Every structure is written in C-alpha cells, then in structure tokens.
C-alpha cells in the first residue's frame, strides 16, 4: 500500500537516512524498531510529507508520488501521530480535531459531526476526554489520546504511530493495541514505531529493524524472541539485571508525613501520602498513571505546596513549604517526567541548559557575573563524563539532541551538585534499550554513593529492576510497601485494588 524505496535524507552533514526501504500492506501492523537516532522518526516524517527526501521514491497504491507537505500525505490517506504532540494548547480538544479535519463547509455542522465521531471513537477506545477542555490543560497521556483521535477521525488508511504507548498506562496501551488490530482487520495499514520489544512481538505482523539510518533486518514476530530482537536493534547484548543496595542506611533521610496536594482542578490527587526514604536506597513508586504521581513530584520539587502534612529532611527539619530554590539548596535534584517542559529549554544552548544549576548554586560567579569560560570547561567535562552524544558544538540548541542524549544532559546537570536526594520521574520513558540502561546505571551509581533515590514510574518492569523498596501509589496514597525482590503480581494487585 505504501512503499518507500531507497530513500536518503541528510541534515547538514548528518546522514539520517541512507537508502532505506520500507513498505506496509493493507490490513497489516508493521513494527519499526530501532534505537534513538536510528532514523525511524525521519523515515516516518518522509512518509507523512514533513520532510522531502534527498533521493529515493515513494509509492502509494503502486503509484509514484511526491508530497509537498503533510496535507498531500493526508490526501493520500496517510496520517501520523507524532511523538511530540502537535496540538494548539489554547484550543479546545474539539477545535484541535477540527483544525485537522473539517467534514462540512458549515462550521456548526462540522462541529456536530466531529463531536459525535469523536465521542463514539473515544468510547470504542476506552478513552474519556472532555471535548471542550483546552488541549494545554490536558495531561501528556490525554494529549496523546487526542492526537490518536485526530488521525482516526480523519479516516486515514495508513496510520503511523510514533511510540504511541510510551505515555499510556498499561491498561490504555492494551486498549490501543486492541483497537489497532481492529483497524487493521477493517483494512487499514498501521505502522507502529516503538521501543517496546514486547509490543512488536505480541501485536505486530512484521518487524523492521533500523540502525544508523539503514534498514538492517526484516523479521516475522514468530521467528524471533525478545533477546535476539534486542541484539538486532542494538547490535550487541545488553542484559539488565537487578543490583540491590549494599550500603542502605536505616535512618530515613526524607520523610513524607500524610501530605495532601491539589491538582490543577483542585482535586486532592495526592491524599495523605506517607513514606520515607533512606540514603543508599532506591525507593520505587509504582502505580497506574494519574494516581498522584505528578503532584507528588511537584511537591518534592517545591513547585506545589502541600495543603496538609509535612515533609522533613533529616538534619534540616521541616521543609514542607520551601520553594524550589530552597529545595535545591537542601540537596534535592530532579529528573522530570517531561524533559522538554521541565528539564530543558529547547531554544537555549547545551551550554546554557547545563550551566543553569551551577549558576543557581553560585559556582559561576555572583548575580552580577556569569563566568562563561568556567561554564564551558564544566559542560565539556560533563559531556564526556555522562557520555552525551550528538553535541557537535556546546552552543547548539538543546532541542537538537535526541531523547536519550537530552535525558543524559538533564542527568549530568542534576547530578552536578552532588545531590543527597534524587527524584527520577519515569527517567527512561521514550528511551531505547541502551540509553535506558545508561540512565539506570547513573541512578544506581548515585545510590551507591549514598544518595536517596525516589523513582516514580508507571513501568512496572523498571520499578522491579531498579528498586530496593517499593511503594504503591494508589488513589493518592501509598497503599502498600514491598521490600525487593517483590513479585510482580503482588504489586500489580496493589496498584489496582480499590480497598
């Protein structure tokens, strides 16, 4: 149905795609696997008309074609759900969909049609989204749902999903996979760009693996297992094993005593949550998304003030109402969940993004000074130490870094102040196997150096792999605690129980 032949594309001097072939057939779910920077997103951007290939051809329904933009691709029935959402924050969900798809010339009629379609589709998907709420006020997961709705409503015949489940909970992800299968059976071609090997093996009909801009393998899911697929993607073996703490202290370093935090709508998303974390341990917080994770993270960082309860740090005392600056001085640092919103300023340079923490600590001069030379030497050191790749120039924009390297830059900065307490919120989300393992190694190293690590993650595998102790966040409370090694089913039960 869609056939890409020998497509090349380079940016500046960087060859993102090198004579890549790809195709997808009617009724097929085709997985596209590869590391960050392997060229998956570039290839898909060529397919949906965002990038013009330097050479090579595109065929839709056996006809050669060229796209002058996404609208041409859309006219050919190709729709893409991007990894970084393309929503207008100040528009309502309905308006965002209508920006993309307008079935009738009358605005009112169009609105009715789209609204009814959106409602039916959302119901089929098991999504619940208020069509009138502003897109900017939605959580990441909900924004993703709107993106998927958008393409589905426009009735695309070839749907490209760029890591769609990365931001969905397990339940929502499973629902989406079911829907994808339903769509494929109805005659749609689906391309699924993903990092999750399990997803490719369990839900796809064909798997293509890319490495450094080239298609390296095409396999059928029945013919491979997870380990060999990982090897195909990375080109080498990466085995993650649990490594528990050896120098865990018994005295809690930070204690949360019944804290309640309100979300944007004034609901008690975090409700009297209590737990404590000692130095030298990784405390994993498991839970289905939307059970208070964001509010907990905001409270730890001092971005939201709890309306009741206390946060205490041993040796400092009650820090409940401290600001973000004070929190940092107390030795807390954070790897935020949305690295392009809270972690980095994409328009600023790598140098600037890295140096902000040191500047705040006053290491780069007083308020009236900014020692750029010192900052330069520090960032160069950090780039090597934390293996941040893709930095051709420390004055390049941070938004040019791939997900894994952007995360490494955030970690390099956050670890630069020798933090005592580290908050890591879904630190390996959207990262490939290799980058995810590198992030995990950093967290373990920090723990082994005596830091208290709070790991909030909706990915149970990550929690089980990393944590020395596990708390389950359910309806805004730590409803159960487990010492590692804990069994998957026990935690899973605690995550969904309504007791």
Partner 1 sequence: MLRKFTEKNNAIMSDTNYPSDKKRDFQIIPRLEVRQNSPEWLRFLIYTISLLVGCVCAVLVMYWVGINPADLIQEISILLFSGTRTIGAILAQTAPLMIAGLATAVAFRANFWNVGLEGQMIVGTIFATFIAIHDVGPDSVRLVLMAVAAMLGGIIWIAPAGFLKLKLGINEVITTLLLNYIAFNLLLHLLFGAWKDPVSGFPHSAQFDLVERLPKLGWENLTYALPLAVFLVLLVWWILSFSRVGYLLSFVSSNPTMAKAVGAPVLGLSITAIIMSGAIGGLTGFAIASGLEFRMTRDFFSGFLFSGVLIAFLGRNHPIGVGIVALFMAILVLLGQSLQVFYQVPFALIQLIQAIFIICVAASEFFLTYRMHWRN
What is the contact surface with partner 1 in residues (CB under 8 A)? Answer: 11-12, 50-52, 63-69, 75-77, 120, 152-153, 155-157, 182-183, 186-188, 301-303, 323-325, 327-328, 334, 336, 341-348, 352, 355-357, 359-360, 364-370, 372, 396-397, 400
Nearer to partner 1, 204 or 332 (CB): 332
In whole angstroms, how close is the CB of 235 to partner 1 at the nearest point?
A: 25
The nearest distance, CB 5 to partner 1, in angstroms, is 14
> Within 10 A of 419 (CB to CB), how many other CB atoms are there?
21
Residues 453, 278 contacting (CB under 8 angstroms): no
Rounded to a whole number of angstroms, the minimum distance from the CB of residue 118 to partner 1 is 12
Element spanning 43, H or E: helix 40-47
**Least separation, in Å, of the C-beta of 251 and partner 1?**
26
222 alpha-carbon distance from chain centroid: 28
Opening angle at CA 69, ends 66 and 70, nearest 5: 110
Cα 246 from Cα 485, distance rounded (Å): 14
The Cβ of residue 292 has, within 10 Å, a number of other Cβ atoms equal to 28
CB-nearer residue toward partner 1: 155 or 450: 155
- 248, 249, 270, 251: which is closest to 259 by C-alpha? 270
Q: CB of 138 within 8 A of CB of 130?
A: no
Instruction: Give which of 497, 422, 489 is closest to 452, Cα–Cα.
Output: 422
Q: Which residues pair with 424 in a beta bridge?
A: 335, 455
Q: Please, which residue, 333 or 428, has the CB nearer to partner 1? A: 333
Reading the block at residue 62, the tokens are 């056996």
The residue (of 234 and 455) whose beta carbon lies closer to partner 1 is: 455
DSSP code, position 69 = S
CB 486 to partner 1: min, Å: 31
By beta-carbon proximity to partner 1, the closer residue of 20 and 474 is: 20
**How many whole angstroms separate alpha carbon 190 and alpha carbon 181?**
9
Q: Which is nearer to partner 1, 6 or 120 (CB)?
A: 120
Least Å distance, CB 260 to partner 1, is: 21
Task: Show Cβ contacts of residue 452 under 8 Å, excluding neighbours closer than 6 positions.
Answer: 253, 254, 277, 278, 279, 280, 281, 283, 420, 421, 422
Of 178 and 272, which CB lies nearer to partner 1 in the complex structure? 178
Q: Which is nearer to partner 1, 49 or 292 (CB)?
A: 49
Which CB atom, from 125 or from 219, has the smaller least distance to partner 1? Answer: 125
Nearer to partner 1, 402 or 467 (CB): 402
What is the enclosing helix (H) or strand (E) of 460? helix 460-466
**Shortest Cβ distance from residue 367 to partner 1 (Å)?**
5
Of the pair 124, 490, the CB lying nearest partner 1 is at 124
Q: How far is the CB of 490 from partner 1 (least distance, A)?
A: 34
Of 232 and 337, the one with the shorter C-beta distance to partner 1 is 337
Task: Round the CA-based radius of gyration of the chain to a whole number and report it.
Answer: 23
Q: Smallest distance, Å, CB 378 to partner 1?
A: 14
Per DSSP bridges, beta strands 2-11 and 14-24 are antiparallel
In DSSP notation, 351-415 reads HHHHHHHHHHTTTT--TT---HHHHHHHHHHHHHHTT----S-TTSBGGGS-HHHHHHHHHHHHH
- C-alpha to C-alpha distance for 173 and 460, rounded to whole angstroms: 14
| Closest distance of CB 328 from partner 1, Å | 4
Q: What is the DSSP letter of 420?
A: S
Minimal distance, residue 467 CB to partner 1, in Å: 24
Residues constituting the chain = 499
The structure tokens 């393309």 sit at 86
Give every CB contact of residue 75 below 8 A, 6+ residues apart in sequence. Answer: none
Q: Which of 138, 117, 191, 199 is nearest to 166 (CA)?
A: 199
Least distance in angstroms from the C-beta of 448 to partner 1 = 25
- CA distances 401 to 86, 339, 490, Å, are 19, 11, 39
């Amino acid at each position: 149905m869609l056939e890409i032949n020998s497509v090349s594309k380079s940016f500046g001097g960087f060859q993102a795609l090198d004579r890549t072939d790809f195709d997808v057939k009617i009724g097929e779910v085709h997985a596209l696997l590869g590391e960050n920077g392997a060229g998956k997103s570039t290839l898909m951007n060529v397919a949906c008309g965002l990038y013009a290939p330097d050479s090579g051809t595109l065929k839709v329904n056996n006809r050669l074609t060229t796209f002058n933009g996404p609208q041409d691709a859309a006219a050919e029935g190709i729709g893409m759900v991007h990894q970084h959402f393309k929503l207008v924050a100040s528009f309502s969900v309905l308006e965002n969909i209508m920006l993309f798809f307008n079935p009738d010339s009358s605005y009112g009629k169009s609105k009715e049609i789209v609204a009814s379609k959106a409602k039916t589709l959302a119901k089929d998907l098991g999504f619940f989204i208020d069509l009138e709420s502003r897109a900017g006020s939605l959580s990441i997961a909900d924004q993703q749902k709107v993106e998927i709705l958008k393409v589905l409503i426009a009735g695309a015949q070839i749907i490209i999903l760029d890591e769609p489940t990365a931001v969905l909970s397990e339940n929502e992800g499973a629902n989406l996979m079911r829907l994808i299968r339903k769509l494929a059976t109805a005659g749609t071609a689906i391309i699924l760009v993903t990092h999750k090997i399990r997803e490719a093996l369990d839900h796809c009909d064909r798997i293509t693996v890319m490495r450094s801009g080239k298609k390296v393998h095409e396999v059928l899911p029945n013919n491979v297992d997870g380990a060999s697929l990982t090897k195909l993607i990375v080109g080498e073996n990466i085995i993650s094993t649990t490594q528990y703490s050896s120098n865990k202290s018994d005295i809690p370093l930070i204690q949360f005593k019944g804290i309640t935090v309100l979300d944007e709508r004034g609901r008690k998303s975090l409700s009297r949550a209590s737990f404590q974390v000692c130095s030298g341990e990784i405390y994993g917080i498991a839970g289905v998304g939307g059970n208070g994770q964001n509010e907990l993270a905001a409270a730890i960082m001092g971005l939201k003030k709890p309306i009741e309860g206390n946060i205490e740090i041993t040796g400092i005392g009650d820090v409940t109402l401290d600001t973000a600056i004070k929190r940092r001085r107390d030795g807390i640092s954070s790897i935020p969940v949305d690295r392009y919103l809270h972690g980095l300023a994409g328009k600023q340079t790598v140098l600037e993004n890295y140096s902000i923490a040191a500047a705040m600590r006053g290491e780069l001069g007083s308020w009236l000074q900014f020692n750029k030379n010192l900052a330069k030497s520090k960032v160069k050191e950090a780039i090597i130490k934390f293996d941040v790749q893709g930095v051709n120039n420390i004055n390049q924009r941070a938004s040019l870094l791939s997900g894994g390297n952007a995360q490494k830059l955030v970690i390099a900065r956050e670890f630069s102040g020798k933090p005592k307490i580290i908050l890591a919120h879904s630190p390996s989300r959207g990262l490939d196997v290799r980058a995810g393992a590198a992030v995990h190694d950093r967290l373990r190293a920090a723990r082994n150096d005596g830091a208290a690590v709070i790991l909030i993650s909706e990915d149970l595998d990550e929690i089980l792999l990393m944590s020395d102790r596990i708390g389950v966040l359910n309806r805004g409370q730590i409803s159960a605690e487990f010492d590692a090694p804990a069994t998957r089913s026990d935690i899973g039960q605690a995550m969904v129980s309504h007791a």
